[in-house]
Amino acid sequence: MLLKTLFSKVATGLGYFLIFGVALYALAYFLPGYQPGFLTNKPLGNLFWRTVFFTHVGLGAVALSLGPFQFSRQLRQRRVGLHRRLGKLYVFSILVASVAAFCAAWFASTGWVAAVGFAGLATAWFYTTFRAYRAIRQGQIRSHQEWMFRSYAATLSAVTLRIILPVELAVFHLPFSMAYPIVAWLCWIPNLVFVEWWLSRRNRANTAGVVWNG
């Protein structure tokens, strides 16, 4: 029991570290003079690309950072007004960032396989978030919560991408031209499959009378 609690605390701490670490990493793009290697082969002179790229990076970082607060049961129960306001900011950020990411996808490094992967993710990001918002406007709390889990699983692709890509490059020694198109799909499909499995397990447990702390 003690080991289980310790494990869950370490896992939560690591999760927050990765979430806020990736959000800060993204926000670094707004520092004056910041020139990461990623930008070397990008169409920096193209105003359309610059607008959609930086819009998605900035608002993506906002959405990613809001997740831990929005899923906190304490915050939802004690500060429902704050949950609503941050929720609106989360939905707004994603609806705009996903359209921007969809546009940025067609400029992705390595070509069309990566482009279609990112465009698919952008579509799933928009759709799951829109469904979550529509559900709460219709007063369907359970459906809202389930769609928000799916939405955040898509948001977390920003984290999974930055775990999988270095593993592909450093452990499997894949060339970037192969690793990148693979990660453009692998960063989000397993997240959505996992959340479906987890939700169905939770629903089965609820039917059997076990109360979940969701």
- What is the contact surface with ligand HEM in residues (CB under 6 A)? 22-23, 26, 29, 36, 38, 56-57, 60-61, 63-64, 101, 104-105, 107-109, 118, 121-122, 125, 154-155, 157-158
Shortest Å distance, C-beta 158 to ligand HEM: 3
| Amino acid code (one letter) for 149 | F
Asked if 151 and 188 touch (Cβ cutoff 8 Å), the reply is no
Consecutive H or E run containing 4: helix 2-27
Query: In the chain, what is the greatest distance between 2 CA atoms, to the nearest angstrom?
Result: 59
Q: Least Å distance between CB 4 and ligand HEM?
A: 30
128, 134, 140, 141 alpha-carbon torsion, rounded to 10°: 60
Please say which residue, 32 or 139, places its beta carbon nearer to ligand HEM: 32
Nearer of residues 139 and 192 to ligand HEM, judged by Cβ: 192
Beta carbon of residue 179, minimum distance to ligand HEM (angstroms, whole number): 12
Q: Which is nearer to ligand HEM, 132 or 154 (CB)?
A: 154
Q: Which is nearer to ligand HEM, 7 or 112 (CB)?
A: 112
Alpha carbon distance 197, 204 (integer Å)? 11
Handedness of CA 22, 159, 111, 174 (dihedral sign): positive
Residue 122 C-beta: closest distance to ligand HEM, Å = 4
Least separation in angstroms between CB 49 and ligand HEM: 9
CA 177 to chain CA mean position, Å:
24
- What is the nearest approach in angstroms of ligand HEM to the Cβ of residue 160? 10
| CB 119 within 8 Å of CB 157 | no
Q: Is 54 exposed, middle or buried (0-12, 13-18, 19+ CB in 10 A)?
A: middle
| Chain centroid offset of residue 119 CA | 14
Which CB, 25 or 83, lies closer to ligand HEM?
25
Q: Tell me whether residue 70 or residue 155 sits nearer to ligand HEM (CB atom).
A: 155
